[in-house]
Amino acid sequence: MLNRQGRPTAAGAAGAEAHPTFTGNRALAQVEPLIFEIGHADVTGVDLDEPEAFEPRLGGLEREGAIGLPGLSEPEAMRHYVRLSQMNYGIDTGLFPLGSCTMKHNARLNERMARLPGFGDIHPLQPVSTVQGALDLMRELGRYLVTLTNMTAVALSPKAGAHGELCGMMAIKAAIEAKGEGATRNVVLVPDSAHGTNPATAALIGFKVRPVPAREDGWVHVDDVTKLLGPDVAAIMLTNPNTCGLFENQVVEIARAIHDAGAYFYCDGANFNAIVGKARPGDLGVDAMHINLHKTFSTPHGGGGPGSGPVVLSARLAPFAPVPFVTIDGDSLQLVEHAADAPEAPFGRLTAFHGQMGMYVRALAYMLSHGSDGMRQASEDAVLNANYIRAGLSDLMSLPFGDKPCMHEVLFDDAWLKDTGVTTLDIAKAMIDEGYHPMTVYFPLVAHGAMLIEPTESESKASLDLFIATLRDLAIAATSGGDKTRFTGAPYHAPRRRLDETRAARNPILKWTPPTPLAEAAE
């Protein structure tokens, strides 16, 4: 059987089901047990000397038996992890359309730079005189970030977007307290379309959350915001471009209304990648905004980390930035690290050490290799690609806010699946069988059965065409009557079939019972 590109399909292993293997492996698709199932407590890949006698200082609490960790020889350990990695989907394997996550190509040049010994091998406790180049890089990165956003100051250290939100909102809280309004301004406005981290951040530091209701056009309206304003409002947390893939067209008016009410404008900058080089948040009235380096500036997401979420601050909030920060002292750079050295920094530090140095290097390498024209083009291409997907699918899939131009991501809902017996989740699972990571599903909550697709600028036209063709095939199959098990039972071809997510959430089994040899060794 040939696929769309005329190449033999994997099912060209026709009859695979009819010829099960003895091992359960399917050629390169290997069955890989847990390391605890293949490891042995008495095997090791390294040869360590017996430790010299020492006096324990744990007051009799020291462990007496072996821990029972599974041991493997070096080649076994290598194979185990390489095989596991081959079961995973990554940006280096294919198009990764997760909306709001911006899974763009991680350029190899950036990886190379991060591994230069002067950056890769330094230690955060080294004397400052020995890491002048690294400090200079941090200063330069900060300069680029405040220039691109037209803001005044930057706190580099937050380690993710959500952490950046915490930093920015703590700066806002500190500014409010400095004005003596800490007791009265305790409400934060958060639109219904916001990422869950926004209300969570506000609540975490003691604010009450007042939702801004969703409108049918997907935009936040200044009238709705104004109605909710009062002397108790500390800030709004507004995402721009928003999570529906739209640029907030009343953002300037909203900023003005917020400022007139004596409150601050926190912008969730997760989608900054759509406007770099095109619009500067400082010009729109933003007071604080985090920038996910792992989205906008192509640093790897890395399985949940290491993210990096620097926060840029307006002149009004700059005095409330946390430590550490870099200063110039004559010819040399200094790092202000301790709250005691920066009495004006109201809440000390947010991270151990200085943040994600490796990500700083990669992000600056991305910026320098693109240049200002390249960064602008990246934003334009990201928007063009999302609109190309919108145009390629809008006759089959429904758009909750009408068929109007989007920014870097396009949001579909599940109205087109009505009465088909197929759900958004089924479409996502069927995409896995087709060799794609699913798009973001069921977010944002303002669109029923949301499917949020963000192709990024990394994808070629050929790659987008194939993706669109695949989704069209699935859409036609889902809506054309007939057998739906292709969807409802998917994925069929992944290393793991569909999990019972409800059971996993309601009745999680968090304890793994070791097989007997390891259990005995641990006794």
By CB under 6 A, name the binding residues for ligand PLP: 100-101, 160-162, 195, 197, 239, 243, 268, 270, 292, 307, 309
196: three-class secondary structure by DSSP: coil
In angstroms, rounded to a whole number, what is the distance separating the alpha carbons of residues 500 and 512?
18
Residue closer to ligand PLP, measured from CB, 38 or 205: 205
Residue closer to ligand PLP, measured from CB, 168 or 309: 309
The number of beta carbons lying within 10 Å of the beta carbon of residue 398 is: 18
Residue among 416, 461, 459 nearest 437 (CA): 459
Closest distance to ligand PLP from the beta carbon of 444 (Å) = 9
Residue among 360, 371, 464 nearest 410 (CA): 464
Q: Two tokens at 278?
A: 């095109």
Give residue number: closest CB to ligand PLP. Answer: 161
| Buried b / exposed e along 216-230 (16+ C-beta atoms within 10 A) | eebbbbbebbeebbe
Residue among 265, 348, 352 nearest 312 (CA): 265
Residue closer to ligand PLP, measured from CB, 101 or 466: 101
Closest distance to ligand PLP from the beta carbon of 369 (Å) = 23
107 by Cβ neighbours in 10 Å (0-12 / 13-18 / 19+) ranks as middle
Closest distance to ligand PLP from the beta carbon of 386 (Å) = 15
The dihedral built from the CA positions of residue 247, 250, 256 and 259, taken in this order, carries a sign that is negative
CA distances from 215 to 26, 222, 459 (A): 50, 11, 32
Residue closer to ligand PLP, measured from CB, 271 or 424: 271
Q: Two tokens at 92?
A: 């280096």
Closest distance to ligand PLP from the beta carbon of 12 (Å) = 38
Q: Two tokens at 136?
A: 């200079």
Residue closer to ligand PLP, measured from CB, 161 or 322: 161
| CA diameter of the chain | 76
Closest distance to ligand PLP from the beta carbon of 81 (Å) = 25
Residue closer to ligand PLP, measured from CB, 430 or 451: 451
In angstroms, rounded to a whole number, what is the distance separating the alpha carbons of residues 482 and 488?
12
Closest distance to ligand PLP from the beta carbon of 181 (Å) = 27
The number of beta carbons lying within 10 Å of the beta carbon of residue 402 is: 9
In angstroms, rounded to a whole number, what is the distance separating the alpha carbons of residues 297 and 269?
12
In angstroms, rounded to a whole number, what is the distance separating the alpha carbons of residues 167 and 308?
12
Q: Is 247 within 8 Å of 214 (Cβ atoms)?
A: no
Residue closer to ligand PLP, measured from CB, 292 or 398: 292
In angstroms, rounded to a whole number, what is the distance separating the alpha carbons of residues 418 and 289?
39
Closest distance to ligand PLP from the beta carbon of 259 (Å) = 23
Residue closer to ligand PLP, measured from CB, 335 or 452: 452
User: What does the DSSP 8-state code read for residue 123?
Assistant: -
Closest distance to ligand PLP from the beta carbon of 149 (Å) = 16
The residue with tokens 């038996």 is: 65
Residue closer to ligand PLP, measured from CB, 120 or 196: 196
Closest distance to ligand PLP from the beta carbon of 272 (Å) = 10
Closest distance to ligand PLP from the beta carbon of 274 (Å) = 12
Residue closer to ligand PLP, measured from CB, 354 or 408: 408
